Chain A
Amino acid sequence: HRNLMQVVYGAPATLSTSINRGQEHDDSEEEEFFKPKQEGKKNVGEGTEAEDVNVEDCSKFVRSPKSWKERDVVESIRDRFVTGDWSK
C-alpha cells in the first residue's frame, strides 16, 4: 500500500518546498525543481494543459466507465443499496 500522506504532501524531505516562503526569490528555483514530481501525479487523467503548474482547475473527475449493464458488475455494488442481501 502506498503511503497516502506521501502521495498528498510529498516525501518528508520535500514537504516544505511548496510552503509559503514569503518573498524569498531564491527559493523559486527550488520550488520549480520539485514541482514536476508532485504535479505529475495530479496531472494524471486530465492532460488538457501541457504545463503542470497550469493544470486545469476542475473539480469533476471522470473515471473510465464500467459496464453497469452486466450482471456481475451490478452485483458487485448491490450491498451498497438498501435492497442488498443482508442475510449473509
Chain B
Amino acid sequence: MGKTTYKRLKGSQSFRQRLLLATLSSTAVSIDDIRTDSTRPGLRPHEVSLVRLFEKICDDCVVVFNDTGTRVTYKPGIIMGGRNLVHDCGLSRSIGYFLEPLIVLALFAKKPLSIRLRGITNDSKDPSVDTFRSTTLPMLKHFGVPTEGLELKIESRGVAPGGGGEIILSIPTVQGLKAVTWIDEGMIKRIRGVTFSTRVSVQLENTAIHSARGIFNRLLPDVHIFTDHRTGPQAGKSPGYGMSLVAETTSGCFISTDTAVSYRGGNEEVEMEEEKTEIVPAEDLGEQTASALLGEIEQGGVVDSVHQGLLFLLCAACPPDVSKVRVGKLSPYGIGTLRNIRDFLGVTFVIKPDPSTETVILKCVGCGLKNFSKKVS
C-alpha cells in the first residue's frame, strides 16, 4: 500500500471523538501538541487506556506515541468486537469516560461486543454507569439498535481514588442505523433513580433520597429512588456514595443527571490537585442532584446536555436520510461534537433556534455509515 496520509490535529481536546471518528471513517490521524505547555505534558493515563481499548477491539490498527506523549499517530484498523473481553480503565477517569466512544464503535463491529470494564463506576466528572443504563442505552433504540444483547451489568461499584468497580457491557452490532425525527420531548411523567454507597453507611443514601424527594414534591408524585448499598468485594476499594436520576417523558425521552462523592484516602497521590473534592453532606447531594435534573428539564430537548454529543454522532452516522432532533441550549461538548463530525464525516447540521420553546432544532443528512462486515439480507 502507498504512504498513509494523516489528518493533522492539535491538542488533547475531543480525544475520544477524534479516535472514534477516525476509526469509523477510516481516517489516519496525527495529533500534535498534546498539552505541550502543561506542567505534565502529554497524554493522560486515561487517554492511553482508551487507545489500548481501541486496539483491543480493532484488528490491525497502528498507534505510535512519541517519547513525551505529546504526539500520537493513529491508523485505524477493522472494528472486530468480540466476546469476553476485559479492559482495565484505570483510575484517572471513570468508566463513563470510555463508554460513549465504545458504544458507538461497537455498533459497527464485525461481531457483537461483550466486555468487562474495570475501574471507577461513579464519579462527578463523567456520566455514571447508572446513567448509561437508564438513559444512554434506551436512546440507541430510537436509531434502530436492537434491544436484544444491549445490556450493562454492574458487578461491583468503585469510586475514586481506589476504584475496584466492574461492569459488563454488551452491545449488539447493526448493519446501519435508522434516521430519526425526534423532536417531541413530551411531558415528564415519572422520575426514577438509584443511589449507591460503598464502604459507608446506607443512611447516607436514605438522607439523600429524602432531600431529593423534597425538591420534586411540588411537581410530581411518581418519584421512586432505589438504594444500592454495596459491601465486601462488591463495594470496591474506596468509600463513597452518590445518586443518579432519570426523568421519563410521555414520549419516551429520558433526561438524566448524576453525582457521586468519594472520600479521598490518606495515601493520595498528588495527581489532579484541582480535583480535590470536599465531601458533600448527603442532604446537599440529594438536593443538588434533584436540582440539576430540574435544570436539565427546564432546558428542554429530547436528550439532556450530557447526551447531545452522542445524539449528534448517531444522527450523522445514519443513512443518507434527514434526521431532525430537538435539544436544549447547545452544550460546549455538543458544539465540539458538531465540529468533529463536520471535520471527519463531512456532515454539517442545519441549526435553528425555536424561539417559542427556547430550544434548538438540528437537521442533518447522515453520512451513511455502514457496517461492511454485516451481510445485506
Contacts and interface: CB of A to CB of B under 8 A. Distances in A.
Interface of A: 1, 4-5, 7-9, 18-23, 28, 31-32, 35, 39, 41-46, 48-55, 57-63, 65-69, 71, 74, 76-84
A18 B338 CA distance: 12
A58 B218 CA distance: 33
A68 B291 contact: yes
Contacts of A8: 330, 335, 338-339, 349, 351
Nearest to B306: A59
21 contacts: A5-B350, A28-B8, A41-B335, A42-B332, A46-B332, A50-B37, A51-B11, A52-B13, A53-B11, A53-B13, A58-B333, A59-B127, A60-B333, A61-B305, A61-B331, A62-B292, A66-B295, A74-B219, A79-B187, A80-B298, A81-B187
Interface string B284-295: 000110111011
Q: Which 7 A-B pairs have the closest CB atoms?
A: A53-B11, A61-B331, A4-B351, A61-B305, A54-B12, A54-B11, A68-B291
A5 to B, nearest CB: 5
Interface of B: 5-8, 10-16, 27, 33-38, 97, 100, 124-127, 187-189, 215, 218-221, 250, 274, 287-288, 290-292, 294-295, 297-298, 300, 305-310, 330-333, 335-336, 338-339, 342-343, 348-353, 355, 360
Nearest to A5: B351
Contacts of B6: 23
User: Which of A1, A59, A78, A81 neighbours the largest number of chain B CB atoms within 10 Å of its CB?
Assistant: A59
Contact of A81 (B27, B219, B292): B219
A19 B332 CA distance: 19
Contacts of A61: 305-306, 331-333
Main secondary structure of the interface of A (DSSP, over half): loop
B10 to A, nearest CB: 5
B187 A80 contact: yes
A58 B360 contact: no
A52 B221 CA distance: 45
B100 A59 contact: yes
A20 B343 contact: yes
A21 B352 contact: no
Contacts of A4: 330, 351-353, 360
B291 A31 contact: no
Contact of B336 (A19, A42, A60, A81): A42
Contact of B220 (A53, A62, A83): A83
B219 A78 contact: yes
B318 to A, nearest CB: 19
User: Which of B288, B290, B298 neighbours the largest number of chain A CB atoms within 10 Å of its CB?
Assistant: B298
A65 B343 CA distance: 34
A57 B16 contact: yes
A84 B186 CA distance: 12
Contact of A53 (B10, B308, B352): B10
Contacts of A71: 218
Contacts of B11: 51-55
Given A8-B335, A60-B126, A68 B187 contact: no
Contacts of A66: 291, 294-295, 298
Contacts of B309: 59
B172 to A, nearest CB: 23
User: Which of B36, B100, B218, B332 neighbours the largest number of chain A CB atoms within 10 Å of its CB?
Assistant: B332
Contacts of A5: 350-351
